[in-house]
Structure formats: C-alpha cells, structure tokens
Structure 1
Amino acid sequence: MSAGRDAQAEQAERSGRDGQAAAWPQEVTDLFERSFTCEYASLTRSGLPVTWPVGPFVGEGGRTLEVTTGLTYPAKAERARRDPRVALLFSDPTGSGLTDAPVVLVQGLATVRDADLQANTDRFLRAVAAKFPGAITGRSWFLMRRQAWYWSRIWIEVTPLRMSWWPGGRLDAEPRRWQAAGEVTAPPSDPAPAGRNAPWMAAPADWRPRADQALRFGNPVLTSTGADGWPLPLRSLGVRRVDDGFVVRTCPLGSAASGQVCLTFHGHREDLGGQDNVVLVGRATPVADGVHVRVERVLPDFSMSGNAVQQLRKMMTGARALKPRLEREAARRGQPVPVLRRPR
C-alpha cells in the first residue's frame, strides 16, 4: 500500500493548475510507447466485458492512451460511447524490445472520435507509419488504396484514472498503483451516428474447436467486472481445459472473478507480420484452484495468421464482406468515405 500512496503523492505534487493528470509513472511509459498490442476491454449493454487485442498509441501531450477500431466494424467504439468505462492491459511485450517488462492495467474513461473520418484516417496512417514503418513502406500503395475498408478508422481516446502495474510481470506479487487527481475528467464522445450497425460476421456455432486451438497461445486474459463497475482484464498465471470451458489460475486481484466474463487468447509475431485471436465469453465461478469459466460462445474474429499468401486471401475475404459496409457506416455519420493519402 505504501508504494501506491507514494505514487499518488508524487502525482498530486506534479498535477498542473489546469486539473489535468500529471506525468505517468516512468516505470510504465516505455511500455506504452513501445508495445505492439494491448488488451482493450469495454462493456456491452448487458454488462458483459469484451476484450480484444488492439494497437496502442500515446496521445499528443501524453495525456491519453489511444486505440482504434475500423469504421466497418465499430462495435468497440459504440460500446465505449454508450459506457465510457474501459480498461487497457499491457501484458504482452512481444516485439517491444523490452526485457523484464512490467504488466500494466489502466482503467479510465473513453472518448470516441468519429466526427471527422478523413482526419481520423490520415492520423491513423501517420501513427502506423511512425510506430510500425514496415506496415506502410513495405506495402503497395495501389493495394492499400483499395483497402480503405480496413484503414478508415474510429479513434478511442482513453483518459487514465488509475493504473496498477506489476514490475517484471510478476503477477503473483502486490502491484504498485497510481491514481489521477480527483478533478481529472475525459471530454465527451462525438455524437452517436444514426441507426445501429449490424454484425458483419457470424460466430461459429460450436465454440469447442476454437477453444481447443486457443491453448497454443498460452495463458489468456480473463476479464471480469470489478466491484466499481469497471472492466478488469488480467493476464492469467495458468489455464487448463475442462469439458465445459477452462479453469484459469489468476493473480490475487482476479481470484474473486464471477458472473459474466471474457477469455481472450491471442498472439502475434515479433515483427507484427501476423496475429491470431480467440475470444470466448461465458460465466465464471471461483473454485479452489482458480476460476472456473463455463464457456457459452466464441466471438467472431478476423485473425491474420499464416504466411503472406494466406493473409492476402483473408484480406480479400474480409474485403468482400466489409467493403459494402464502408459507405453505409460513413453515411450513418453524414460523411464521405475517407480517401487514403500517403502520410507526410
């Protein structure tokens, strides 16, 4: 507890007169800057936490952590606009170049930005070019311009309210803590578009095959909802398959997980040249050796695994499903479809 008080006292001393958050703990900032992925958790209408791996960026001025979702699959943003309580977990340093990296949980308020889709898309291309240069310089611009369905983006800006981190990723230890000043708030999201978006991909009828495949990604992230109503994603310490789902061994902070939960298995290459996800939802009950998750269904996902030819085929399949949605989602927001322009 003393570590948490020390971090909070330091933050309070450094808080500016404008009421914005002071500098974040130095122990976590390198991870924010260099992580290829983090796990982003938001809440559905029913209160189910849903967690997906996404690419994180540090906002201008270092006041926010920011992620995106495609305009053609906006559910991550729509959930955050409806309920801004979100969380980001930095628990996979693959590709960051960091050794002995901490695991960091950030809980905060989301601000959804989709009032200017062209600016969003320009900004996304610049951010990707700066953080992952090969993702753009190594691609054919001719092909990229035909992938506007992927590159057209909605931004989700997260204002951190509190952080917990485990130095060296030692999740069985007590975390250190940081909290923003009490007056820190997040700006409101842009107005919601007219109508509702429909799912673009059907989920597999049987969750079991994907659950069996998921084990190759190692320990999953278990997301429950904390007593304060915020999503609580935590990297597990161990997992084993049982007939109706999984038994997950958690750190002390997650040992009481119960009710609606999400299990997120994912992995990516060091060069981010491919990634794969398995996301399962169900109900959790604490048991003697961990948390028993009874899986109810698997969520549809658009993984980019395999070699370059296999990934190209998946992109072509995705294009057929998502291109028709591009104009529809832009029209819902009263805007034209963004044009891809080379980042400068």
Structure 2
Amino acid sequence: MSLSPASGTAGRTNWPAEILPVLENALTCEYASLTRTGAPITWPVGPYVAEDGRTVDVSTGLTYPSKAERARRDPRVALLFSDPTGSPVSGPPVVLVQGLATVRDADLQANTDLYLRRTLAKYPQAVARQPWFLVRRQAWYWARIWIEVTPLRMLWWPHGRLDAPPQRWEAAPEATAPPSDPAPTGAGAPGWLEPPADWRLRADHAVRLGDPVLTVIGEDGWPLPLRSLGATRVDDGFLVRTGPPGVLARGRACLTFHTHGTDMSGQENVVLVGEATPLPDGVHVRVERALADFSLSGSRLGQVRKMMRTARALAPRLEREAARRGQPVPALRRLR
C-alpha cells in the first residue's frame, strides 16, 4: 500500500498517520447525520482536513442548509471514506470517522472565501471549466455553511478489506468539540426539490451506480455508515451484503448510491430510506421513499442548462437565508 500525505497536516495531529492521506486526498466521503426522529441520512460531500489538523470539514450550500441544521440539533455525525475514485492514494483503507459537529455560519463571507479557496486547490477543474463572470453569478452555490467534525473515534480497514476486523483509534475521554454558531432566526425555507413520487424508479436507476453505503444507528446511538459488498434489488427494496463482521443492522436505515468522475466533472446520487432487518448473510432494507437528489451528468451543455434551472430555483432563497443570519449575501471574490 502506497500512502503519501498531501498537505502536511500529519505533524499537527495525533490521528493515525496511515489514514491521513485518505482524509486529505479523497474527493468525496459519505456524510451521515440524524433527523429529528433519530433516523440517519447520508449524502456524498467533499471533505477537507482543516489547516490546524484538528477537524475534518464538510460544507453545504446556504440555500440548502438541511445537512447543517441536522448537525446543529444533534452533533453526532459520521464520515465514511469508502470511494477512492480520483484519489492519488494507492490501495487505501476504508476509513470511518465518528465525531461531533460544529456548525459555522456566523461569517458567511469568510465561509464563501474559504470554500472557493479550498475548491480551487482540490477541484481546480470545477472552476476552470467556466469563465469567471459565470462563476460570480453562482453565489447561490458558492455561499456556504461549514460543518467542522471533531473526530472522537476512527475505524479503518487496511486495503479496504471489509471482511476483516478494523483497526481503531479513539480520542481522549475528555475530548469534545466547540459549540456551533447560534441558530438563525425565523423559519427556514422548505425543500427546493420535490422527492420522487415512486421510489422504485430511483431504485431501478440506483443499481447502475455501484454498491451502496448502508447507514444504520449503532448500538451507541451514533450514525453508522458502512460500505456494502453488494445489493440485490427485490420487490420492496434491497438485500444488502454488509462488509464488517459483527454489525447488527436493524431499524431506521439509509441506502446511499453515488458515483462521480475522477475530476468531479459529473456526479450522480440516489438516496433511499426505510427499515433494516438483519438476515443471516446481510440486511433486508425495506424502502419507504426516495429523497430528492441533485445529480449532474451527461453532456457539458446539458449540465450547464441544469445549473441555470437550479440557479433560478435557488437564487430567491439566498437573500432569505442570509437575512435569517443577519448578514448580507456574500460576494464571490476572485482569489489572487
């Protein structure tokens, strides 16, 4: 296994050195948080190791803040690094991080500047494909809320061997995370996308995106996302072969299918939620519904048209969400 740290944070943290390159170089990870009722929801997001090496950070758009709002209500979150697509790390382990989330939205301009800087460093093609005057018109996307995750527990499976017991790291018993910024005032906007009326259509498409991540609630009450070893479509959902031995997957469950290009030039997501029942060789997930998802695939022209439609839908939410936080809409400032 060849591991090469990318950004030099290894000397500033006591996290296991062998998993740092995965955290630093992964283009995506699967971020799991909990709803008001304690059900897990898992979405692929872009991860960033903080400059001080103390947190693993993810973000969500100011215009679609549900991921952050869930974390502010219940800071128990998890990050699973199980898709090495586009990463330069050879033979990486699968890494699970469980930690406490700190939501940062008290300075939206600083958040936006940071997101642009991190995106240019990690996904340069995301900006290079567009002229700057178009990028500046996409504040609905670039305006960000940050979620800083302080790891309390890390599990990793060397060489991605999920059929073997993982290695383990735990933070000191007194470890904790700073509090989140105060919640915004007033009611948030409803979801901007209508979920599919029939989950079966999305499930039929999902099987083409590869093996899903199954998220359940662990015995300790934390979200537990696990990369599966395969899933078979059945009439009422999926039969999922789980990787890590000894995991009792029962209760509320989320199945996350996703794929992306090696340069993040496109991505597809399907997220299904339901109920998990353990089987002798895996888990039966009875699907109840599909969540509204945003995928970007196909031709470049088709992607541009979809982004323009999305901009029209989300732009009105930008001022509302900034005003709820007592701040002006952040500007896109070109980095020099």
Q: Give yes or no for TM over 0.5.
A: yes
Task: Report what 2:187 is aligned to.
Answer: 196
For the structure 1 residues 112 and 130, does the alpha-carbon distance in structure 2 shift closer, same or farther, using more than 3 Å as the test?
same
Paired AA for residue 132 in structure 1: Y
* Deviation (angstroms), 1:178: 0.3
1:160-239, aligned counterparts within 5 Å?
A: 160-197=151-188, 198-239=190-231
Match of 1:272 among 243, 264, 267: 264
Paired AA for residue 290 in structure 2: V
- TM score, norm. by length of structure 2: 0.95
* Deviation (angstroms), 1:194: 1.0
CA contact (8 A) 1:234 1:254 kept: no
Task: Report what 1:97 is aligned to.
Answer: 88
Provide the C-alpha distance between the structure 1 equivalents of 2:20 and 2:42, rounded to a whole number of angstroms: 22
* Deviation (angstroms), 1:289: 2.5
SS of the residue corresponding to residue 252 of structure 1 reads coil
Provide the C-alpha distance between the structure 2 equivalents of 1:87 and 1:159, rounded to a whole number of angstroms: 10
Question: Over the residues paired in the alignment, what is the CA RMSD in angstroms?
Answer: 1.3
Q: Does 1:311 align with 2:303?
A: yes
Per mean C-alpha deviation after superposition, the further-off stretch among 148-157 and 189-198 is 189-198
Task: Report what 1:16 is aligned to.
Answer: none
Task: Report what 1:155 is aligned to.
Answer: 146
Paired AA for residue 43 in structure 1: L
Q: Could you list the runs of 4 or more consecutive aligned residues of structure 1 that deviate by over 6 angstroms after TM superposition? A: none
* Deviation (angstroms), 1:60: 1.6
Structure 1 unaligned segments of length 5 or more: list them. Answer: 1-20
Provide the C-alpha distance between the structure 2 equivalents of 1:322 and 1:306, rounded to a whole number of angstroms: 22
CA contact (8 A) 1:104 1:166 kept: yes
SS of the residue corresponding to residue 50 of structure 1 reads strand
Deviation string 1:97-154 (CA, Å, 9 cap, x unpaired) is: 2221110000000000000000000010011111122222332111111110000000
* Deviation (angstroms), 1:253: 4.8
* Deviation (angstroms), 1:216: 0.9
Paired AA for residue 193 in structure 2: M
Deviation string 1:156-211 (CA, Å, 9 cap, x unpaired) is: 00000000000000000010000011111100000000123211111011000110
Q: Does 1:37 align with 2:28?
A: yes
CA contact (8 A) 2:104 2:145 kept: yes
1:290-329, aligned counterparts within 5 Å?
A: 290-329=282-321
Match of 2:251 among 259, 272, 282: 259
Provide the C-alpha distance between the structure 1 equivalents of 2:308 and 2:199, rounded to a whole number of angstroms: 25
Q: Does 1:111 align with 2:102?
A: yes
Deviation string 1:204-254 (CA, Å, 9 cap, x unpaired) is: 110001100001111100000111111000000111000000000002357
Quick check: which one's helix share is greater?
1
Q: Does 1:334 align with 2:326?
A: yes
SS of the residue corresponding to residue 202 of structure 1 reads coil
CA contact (8 A) 1:22 1:180 kept: no
* Deviation (angstroms), 1:81: 0.3
CA contact (8 A) 2:30 2:44 kept: yes
- TM score, norm. by length of structure 1: 0.92
Task: Report what 2:8 is aligned to.
Answer: none
Task: Report what 1:72 is aligned to.
Answer: 63
Provide the C-alpha distance between the structure 1 equivalents of 2:280 and 2:316, rounded to a whole number of angstroms: 49
Paired AA for residue 130 in structure 2: R
CA contact (8 A) 2:13 2:53 kept: no
Provide the C-alpha distance between the structure 1 equivalents of 2:335 and 2:37, rounded to a whole number of angstroms: 40
Count the aligned residue pairs.
325
Task: Report what 1:8 is aligned to.
Answer: none
SS of the residue corresponding to residue 150 of structure 1 reads helix
Task: Report what 1:287 is aligned to.
Answer: 279
For the structure 1 residues 254 and 94, does the alpha-carbon distance in structure 2 shift closer, same or farther, using more than 3 Å as the test?
farther
